[in-house]
């Protein structure tokens, strides 16, 4: 490349040879004022400019209304999706203060919507408990909106102000009289910022329902008025998080072991905690924790306190009633099998780790929750011996399965050690051993595996063919995985084990690529593998190691000129291009399976890093992912049928 610098020969003396236009001096220091930092680096404030960041805007505004409810001044919140993807949020709280701010010299409401880190949640008694602690929510939404309008009702006057991309030309003004109080915010996300401004009804419904569960007695009215087919939901749960647990079991088709949800709550000073839990007949656990209504996906001191105390209580119960032999002990994984629990704490000063608020760090919360669970759960078990027996028997069965898994694991290791090679016999390994470079293709069938082996780059690409349907781990405990002839080759090839022994540092390949046919059987195999990774090797997905290969569906060709099409639309486009407006005959080959492609074609279309297309599997919301895997791969037919009926419209042409 012209004017390039050879890195091997570059030294400090060469700096003088660089064009002066690249100089770095005081003139290059840019000061971002007002809301400019938000528009310059939106990802720092809302995580991304994709769909997740777009929906986060709604969350920020709704959180302000929820905080009014926590303070005891708001009972109803209306959230409307309007034509043009405009969002309108109204509440019957106190209304944002409208007086002149003593320092800024403008209305306090204007300050809230135009100044970062401004709000009533830093002290001063406005809010004892609040989810929006950083004071950036309202102003960030304003900065990232094409336009935003606030209407404030203070019991006497109606106040109004309009903003364009965070800027305003007119001050807050009185536009009428009123005897009600509250705040209405209406905004349109900026298409210059976001990749899409199309809101997903189901995403917002899930978020709003979650908030209604966490705040018993609050009524959230949600409506989608973007077209004539208006959707409306009233979210109101007097039972709070108890109904949250019931909702999870119902939507996922899980059978609860006992009729009642166990509910625990307590207070220590200004700190409050409530926990709802119930066991079901599955082999997986789900613990969802919150601090001041903010979901903490990475847990924290409140969740750790619950987990530790749960294990301790069930062990003490077993010893007290001689249900455990001397020396026997239930582990955390035993007592959590089949558990669904909601852990919610509310406190005056949350210490979240990072802007994303993923983990609660308050050290005083752990002993508070531990003591609360220790006392109240033990009392419940003693007063409800029938439910206690169901829970304890479930934990003991899990303990036995864990011991069986340990034996199966040791047997599998002995077999591996005695075999001539520790790696699976069908694995065609690569020569490179650095997992920064290496990748493994898990391929459906021997014929496709043969093409992949011949077409690959042997230096960094390994091929592992699979044959037949593998175990659905959603319906089996971990002891059934060891020795399974379909899954163990995958475990052995990856090298990082599974379950509590999983060690990401031992992963042999940086990319784990599932390559299956583009048909129903291929989709099933992909889903079974993803379920396995999600349940027993989740960090593989969380750290971005799992991919889905995208082989082409069609080869469109005339003479020596050929195109590969991945969609029907691409196929039609290439036919038109090659046919010369329909006068020339064009051949179309439909690939029914990977085995129909020769090694050269498979390399060019699906395996060559320079030309291939792959889907990277991520877990944006682990709770939602857990729900989908439970519904699709679990025992119950009704929830799966409902899911398919509700989502069939999103599936394109299906080739069976």
231 lies in the same domain as 116: yes
Backbone angles phi, psi at 145, to 5 degrees: -110, 140
pLDDT at residue number 635: 67
Q: Which of 233, 316, 349, 519 is catalytic?
A: 519
DSSP 580-622: TTTTS--EEEE--SGGGS-HHHHIIIII-TTT--EEEP--S-H
Give the mean model confidence (pLDDT) for residues 608-624: 83
131 lies in the same domain as 77: yes
Helices (H) and strands (E) in the chain, counts: 19, 21
Answer whether 59's CB lies under 8 Å from 207's CB: yes
Does the annotation count 30 as an active-site position? no
- For residue 381, the surrounding DSSP H or E stretch is helix 365-383
Question: Does the residue 134 lie in any domain?
Answer: yes
249 lies in the same domain as 131: no
> Which of 235, 255, 277 is where one domain is finished?
235
Percent of the chain with pLDDT over 90: 57
Does the annotation count 200 as an active-site position? no
DSSP 415-439: HHHHSS-SS-TT-B--S---TTT-E
Weakest-pLDDT range from 94-108, 433-447, 616-630: 616-630
The rounded distance, in Å, linking the Cα atoms of 188 and 205 is 19
The rounded distance, in Å, linking the Cα atoms of 510 and 517 is 23
Q: Can you give the CATH number for the domain in which 428 is found?
A: 3.40.50.670
The rounded distance, in Å, linking the Cα atoms of 535 and 284 is 8
250 lies in the same domain as 162: no
Q: Which of 80, 521, 570, 577 is catalytic?
A: 521
394 lies in the same domain as 537: no
> Which of 173, 205, 235 is where one domain is finished?
235
Question: Does the residue 8 lie in any domain?
Answer: no
- Expressed as residue numbers, the domain containing 530 is 424-551+616-650
Q: Which of 243, 274, 334, 444 is catalytic?
A: 444
Using DSSP, state whether 22 is helix, strand or coil: helix
Does the annotation count 517 as an active-site position? yes
141 lies in the same domain as 120: yes
Q: How deeply is 63 buried, as exposed, middle or buried, from its count of CB atoms within 10 A (0-12, 13-18, 19+)? A: buried
Strand ordering across the sheet containing 294-295: 262-268, 271-279, 339-346, 286-291, 294-295
366 lies in the same domain as 440: no
DSSP 128: S
438 lies in the same domain as 394: no
Our count of domains for the chain comes to: 3
Q: What is the pLDDT of residues 511-522, one digit of tens each?
A: 999 998 877 788
144 lies in the same domain as 289: no
Q: Can you give the CATH number for the domain in which 175 is found?
A: 3.30.565.10
Does the annotation count 521 as an active-site position? yes
Q: What is the pLDDT of residues 409-466, one digit of tens each?
A: 777 666 665 444 568 878 999 999 999 999 999 998 777 888 899 999 999 999 999 8
Give the mean model confidence (pLDDT) for residues 553-560: 90
Q: Which of 68, 243, 517, 627 is catalytic?
A: 517
Q: How deeply is 445 buried, as exposed, middle or buried, from its count of CB atoms within 10 A (0-12, 13-18, 19+)? A: buried
Q: Can you give the CATH number for the domain in which 395 is found?
A: 3.30.230.10
Could you give the C-alpha distances from 13 to 5, 10, 20, 24, 261, in angstroms and in order? 13, 8, 14, 17, 73
Question: Does the residue 137 lie in any domain?
Answer: yes
């Amino acid at each position: 490349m012209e004017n390039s610098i050879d890195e091997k020969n570059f030294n400090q003396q060469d700096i003088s040879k660089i064009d002066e236009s690249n100089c770095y001096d005081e003139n290059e220091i840019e000061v971002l004022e007002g809301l400019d930092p938000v528009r310059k680096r939106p990802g720092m404030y809302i995580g991304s400019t994709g769909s997740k960041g777009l929906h986060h805007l709604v969350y920020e505004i709704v959180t302000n209304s929820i905080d009014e409810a926590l303070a005891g001044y708001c009972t109803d919140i209306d959230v409307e999706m309007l034509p043009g993807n405009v969002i309108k949020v109204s509440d019957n709280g106190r209304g944002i203060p409208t007086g002149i701010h003593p320092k800024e010299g403008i209305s306090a409401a204007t300050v809230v919507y135009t100044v970062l880190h401004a709000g009533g949640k830093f002290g001063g008694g406005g809010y004892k408990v609040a989810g929006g602690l950083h004071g950036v929510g309202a102003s960030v939404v304003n900065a990232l909106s094409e336009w935003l309008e606030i209407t404030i009702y203070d019991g006497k006057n109606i106040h109004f102000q309009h903003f364009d991309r965070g800027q305003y030309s007119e001050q807050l003004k009185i536009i009428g009289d009123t005897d009600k109080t509250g705040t209405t915010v209406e905004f349109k996300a900026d298409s210059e910022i976001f990749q899409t401004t199309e809101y997903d009804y189901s995403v917002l419904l899930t978020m709003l329902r979650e908030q209604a569960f966490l705040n018993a007695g609050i009524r959230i009215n949600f409506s989608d008025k973007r077209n004539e087919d208006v959707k409306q939901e009233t979210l109101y749960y007097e039972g709070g998080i108890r109904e949250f647990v019931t909702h999870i079991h119902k939507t996922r088709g899980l059978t609860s072991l006992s009729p009642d949800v166990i509910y625990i709550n307590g207070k220590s000073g200004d700190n409050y905690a409530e926990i709802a839990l119930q066991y079901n007949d599955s082999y997986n656990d789900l613990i969802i924790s919150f601090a001041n209504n903010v979901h903490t996906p990475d847990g924290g001191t409140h969740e750790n306190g619950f987990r530790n105390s749960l294990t301790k209580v069930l062990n003490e119960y077993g010893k007290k009633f001689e249900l455990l032999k001397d020396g026997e002990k239930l582990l955390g994984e035993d007592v959590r099998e089949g558990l669904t629990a909601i852990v919610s704490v509310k406190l005056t000063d949350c210490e979240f780790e990072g802007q994303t608020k993923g983990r609660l760090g308050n050290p005083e919360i752990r002993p508070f929750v531990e003591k609360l669970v220790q006392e109240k759960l033990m009392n419940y078990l003693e007063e409800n011996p029938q439910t206690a027996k169901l829970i304890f028997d479930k934990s003991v069965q899990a303990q036995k399965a864990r011991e069986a898994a340990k034996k199966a694991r040791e047997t599998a290791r002995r077999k591996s050690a005695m075999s001539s090679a520790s790696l699976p016999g069908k694995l065609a390994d690569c020569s490179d051993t650095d997992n920064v470079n290496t990748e493994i293709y898990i391929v459906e069938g021997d014929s496709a595996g043969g093409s992949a082996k011949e077409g690959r780059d042997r230096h960094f690409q390994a091929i592992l063919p699979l044959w037949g349907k593998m175990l659905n781990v959603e319906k089996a405990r971990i002891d059934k995985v060891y020795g399974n002839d379909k899954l163990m080759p995958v475990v052995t090839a990856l090298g990082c084990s599974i379950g509590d022994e999983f060690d990401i540092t031992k992963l042999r390949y940086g990319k784990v690529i599932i390559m299956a046919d583009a048909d129903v059987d291929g989709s099933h195999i992909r889903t079974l593998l993803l379920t396995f990774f999600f349940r027993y090797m989740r960090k593989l997905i969380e750290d971005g190691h799992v991919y889905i290969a995208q082989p082409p569906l069609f080869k469109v060709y005339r003479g020596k000129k050929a195109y590969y099409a991945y969609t029907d639309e691409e196929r039609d486009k290439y036919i038109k291009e090659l046919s010369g407006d329909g006068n020339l005959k064009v051949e179309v080959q439909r690939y029914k399976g990977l085995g129909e492609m020769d090694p050269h074609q498979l390399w060019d279309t699906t395996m060559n890093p320079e030309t291939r297309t792959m889907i990277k599997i991520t877990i944006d919301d682990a709770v939602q992912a857990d729900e989908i895997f439970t519904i699709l791969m679990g025992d119950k037919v009704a929830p799966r049928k409902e899911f398919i009926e509700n989502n069939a419209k999103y599936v394109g042409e299906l080739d069976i």
